[in-house]
Structure 1
Amino acid sequence: MTVPLSGVPLADHAAVYAALDRAGFTDVWSSEVAGADAFTPLTLAAAWQPRLRLGTAIAPVFTRGPGLLAMTAAAVAEAAPGRFALGIGASSPVLVQDWNAVPFEEPFRRTRDVLRFLHAALCGETVDQAYDTFTVRRFTLERPPAVPPPVLLAALRPGMLRLAAAEADGVILNWLSADDVPRAVAELGEHRPGFEVVARIFVCPTEDAAHARALGRRLITGYLTVPAYAAFHRWLGRDSVLGPMWDAWAAGDRRGAAAAVPDEVVDALVLHGAPEQCIAQVRRYADAGVDVPVMALLPTPELAAGGAAALATLIPRLGIAEGS
C-alpha cells in the first residue's frame, strides 16, 4: 500500500499500519510530491509495525544532495534492517525546478550518477569521484547500514529501463495498465537474482463508476501531460487515444482535455469497482510480471462519508489474509 493514506494524519497511522499488517499487506511504499516527504512515514512504520517492508517510490535524485540522500536512506535502513528498499528517480521539472528551485538538467545522467554513488556510499565506501553531473569529495557515511538497502530505479522508457536492469536492484513502474507490463518488462531482459519489478497501481474501490472516472480523468490529465509521461504513453501506443487530450491541454483547454480521455483508458489505468473486483485487477499485474504490486488508494464517496470506520472496513477487503 502507498502511504501515508490521504485524509489520515501521520500521528494516526499506527492503527493504519496495524490494519494493513493484519490484512496481509507485506509492504508500505511512500511517494514524495507535495505532501509528506518520502522518509517520515516509513520511519514511523519501522517503529510501529516491525513486520512490514518499507520502500520509497520515489525519492527524487535532484532535491537532496547525494550525501544527504545517502544519510537519510542509511538512517531508515538502520531503523528497519533488511526491511527497507530505496527507490529513486528523476521526478519532474515541476517538482524539481518549480517547487525546489533546482535546475532539472540531464535527468538520465543525474539518475545514473546518483544510483552509482548510492551503491558505493551505502556499502560504507569512501566516495571521492567526479561523476558526469556532480562531484563528491571524500564522503563516508559515519553509520553505514549493516544491511545496505537495495536501490531501485523508477523507469518509464527503454533507456531508463535498461539502466535499471544493468545497474539497479529493481525497477519501479508507474502509470501503466496490466496489459502494458509485458512491454516494459521485456526491455529489462533476463533478471538478475533478487531483481524486483515494483508497480504503483491506482485503485479507487467504489462501484460509483462516474466518481472513479471523473477522478481518473483529473489524474490522467494532470500526470500524462507531463512530457516524460506523455512520451511513455506514446511509446506504449496510446498516441491516437490520448492525442485529443494532449491537443486540448496544449491549447489551454483543461476541461476539454479531461473530457477527451476515453473511458477505456481511465478504466485501464485507474482500477475501480468493489474492493474484490479491484483485487482481481491488481492480480493481473502480478500475472503479467510485477513482483510487488503497490496500491495507491484514491478517495471514494464511501470513505468520505464513513471516515475512519469506513477505512477500517475497507482495508481487510483489499488485503490478502495470511494463508489464503
Structure 2
Amino acid sequence: MVMDENPADALRIVRAADRAGVHSLWSIDYYNRSSLTRAAAFAAVAEKAIVGTSVTPLFARSALALASAAADVQAIAGGRFVLGVGSSTRRMNQDWYGTAMQHPAPQVRERVELVRRLIAHRGGPFRFDGEFDRVALAHYERAALPDTVPILAAGVGEHMVRAVGGCADGFVGHTIAPVDYLRDVARPLLAEGAARAGRDVARLRTTTQIVAAAGSDPHLARRDAAAQVGFYATPKGYDALFPQGRFGAERAAAREAVASGDVAGVVAAGEAMVEERAVFGTPEDVAAQLRRYSGVVDWALLYPPHFGVDPERVHANELALIEVAAGWAS
C-alpha cells in the first residue's frame, strides 16, 4: 500500500515496486487522498503489478460516478484493476461526505450490486430501483469500456462481513485485524453469507491490510508499528476486533492520547497490541512474521504506518517493504 501524501512521491514508489516484481500496488482514500485518482496514475505507470484501491468509500461518490471511474481505471490498467470498497464509519459519511447511512450492511450489498450492473451495462436505457439507491438513465452508452471490475469489500462487524460474503468478489480485513479474528470469525461469516446467497465461498478472495514496518533499526520499526496500531484501536466501531473487551484499558488510553495530540501516549498504548496486530523489524523479521497469515488470507496488503511517523521514514519503509514483497512474490 503506497501511503505517500504527495502523489509524485507515490509514483516513484510505484515504479520501483513494479520493476522489482511486487504482486500488487494499492492506493488509499482519505480526506487528503483520492484512491481512484491515484489508482489511475498507478495503472498508467505500472506495467505488471495488479493495481487496487484499499479502500474506496462506497458512499463518498454516487454509484454512477464510482462505476464510471472504476471502468476508466480498469481500461488504463488493461484488466489489472481491483476495486476495493468500504462503508466507512457513520461519522465519516455524515461529517465528511454529507451522506446518511442508517443500514450499513444492506446499503453496502445494494450499492455493490448497482455498481456491478452499471459497469456491465453496454447501451440503451438503464434503471435501478432499490431500497436505498435509484438510478434512471434514458440512454447509457459505454460499449468501449470494460464490462467487469473485481470488487472487494471491507468489513469488521458480523453483519457487514456476512454481507460481503453474499455480494462481493472478495473481502478486505481491517488493518489491525489479528490472525485469529480473520481465521475464526471472518472466514466463517464470509462462508455463511456466501451460502445464504447461493454463492461458492471458494471463489471469494480473502485479503487483509497488515501494519508493516521494516528497517535497519528494529526498535524504531516497532515504535512506528505500535503508533499505527494504537491509533486504529481507538474507534468503538472496531469492537469486534477486540472480543470480550480485550485491550480495553489500552484502547481507552489510546483514545485519550489521540484526542490530546499525545503521540507518545498512542505509541505506549499500541505497544501492548503490536505483536499480534502488526509485523515489524528488519525485512527478514517482517517476512518471517507474515507467515502467520499463510493459509488464512490469499493476499497480504502491507500497510506502512504513517500516524506519528515522519514522511521521510514512511518513504524509507516503503522501499524496505518492496524488498519484502518482491521476495515473497518470487
Which interval holds the TM-score relative to the shorter structure?
0.7 to 0.9
Going from structure 1 to structure 2, the CA distance change for 1:116 and 1:19 (only over 3 Å counts) comes to same
- Aligned twin of 1:133: 132
Counting only pairs closer than 5 Å after superposition, residues 152-231 of structure 1 correspond to structure 2 as 152-174=152-174, 175-183=176-184, 184-189=186-191, 191-206=200-215, 208=217, 211-229=220-238, 231=239
- Aligned twin of 2:274: 266
Q: Deviations over 1:262-314 (max 9, x none)?
A: 634122222211111112222321x1421111111235989837x97x56862
> Is the partner of 2:297 in helix, strand or coil?
coil
Amino acid at match of 1:242: G
- Aligned twin of 1:232: 240
The answer to whether 1:294 aligns with 2:292 is no
- Aligned twin of 1:29: 26
TM-score (norm 2): 0.82
Give the CA deviation at 1:196: 0.7
Give the CA deviation at 1:117: 0.4
Going from structure 1 to structure 2, the CA distance change for 1:302 and 1:246 (only over 3 Å counts) comes to closer
Going from structure 1 to structure 2, the CA distance change for 1:166 and 1:99 (only over 3 Å counts) comes to closer
* In 2, Cα distance between equivalents of 1:301 and 1:223: 14
* In 2, Cα distance between equivalents of 1:139 and 1:153: 30
Residues 246 and 257 in structure 1, CA contact (< 8 A), matched pair in contact too: no
Name the structure where helix makes up a greater proportion of residues: 2
Counting only pairs closer than 5 Å after superposition, residues 1-324 of structure 1 correspond to structure 2 as 2-3=1-2, 5-6=3-4, 9-124=6-121, 127-138=126-137, 141-143=140-142, 145-174=145-174, 175-183=176-184, 184-189=186-191, 191-206=200-215, 208=217, 211-229=220-238, 231-234=239-242, 237=243, 239-246=245-252, 249=255, 258=266, 261=269, 263-285=271-293, 287-298=294-305, 304=312, 310=316, 314-321=320-327, 324=330
Give the CA deviation at 1:118: 1.3
* In 1, Cα distance between equivalents of 2:94 and 2:310: 37
Bigger shift: 314-323 or 197-206?
A: 314-323
Amino acid at match of 2:135: V
* In 2, Cα distance between equivalents of 1:321 and 1:221: 29
Residues 179 and 288 in structure 1, CA contact (< 8 A), matched pair in contact too: no
Bigger shift: 202-211 or 119-128?
A: 202-211
* In 2, Cα distance between equivalents of 1:82 and 1:152: 15
Residues 89 and 153 in structure 1, CA contact (< 8 A), matched pair in contact too: yes
Aligned pairs, how many?
A: 315
* In 1, Cα distance between equivalents of 2:133 and 2:329: 49
Q: Which runs of 5+ in 2 are unaligned?
A: 195-199
RMSD of the alignment, in Å? Answer: 3.2
Give the CA deviation at 1:187: 1.9
TM-score (norm 1): 0.83
| Percent of aligned pairs with the same amino acid | 23
Q: Which runs of 5+ in 1 are unaligned?
A: none
Q: Deviations over 1:211-263 (max 9, x none)?
A: 4454444434433222321x2223xx251322453377479777597377363
Amino acid at match of 2:90: P
* In 2, Cα distance between equivalents of 1:60 and 1:139: 27
Going from structure 1 to structure 2, the CA distance change for 1:82 and 1:265 (only over 3 Å counts) comes to same
* In 2, Cα distance between equivalents of 1:322 and 1:222: 28
Q: Deviations over 1:159-194 (max 9, x none)?
A: 222222222111111121233321222222285454
> Is the partner of 1:261 in helix, strand or coil?
helix
Give the CA deviation at 1:72: 0.8
Residues 227 and 305 in structure 2, CA contact (< 8 A), matched pair in contact too: no
* In 1, Cα distance between equivalents of 2:310 and 2:280: 13
Residues 276 and 317 in structure 1, CA contact (< 8 A), matched pair in contact too: no
> Is the partner of 1:142 in helix, strand or coil?
coil
> Is the partner of 2:127 in helix, strand or coil?
strand
* In 2, Cα distance between equivalents of 1:253 and 1:46: 39
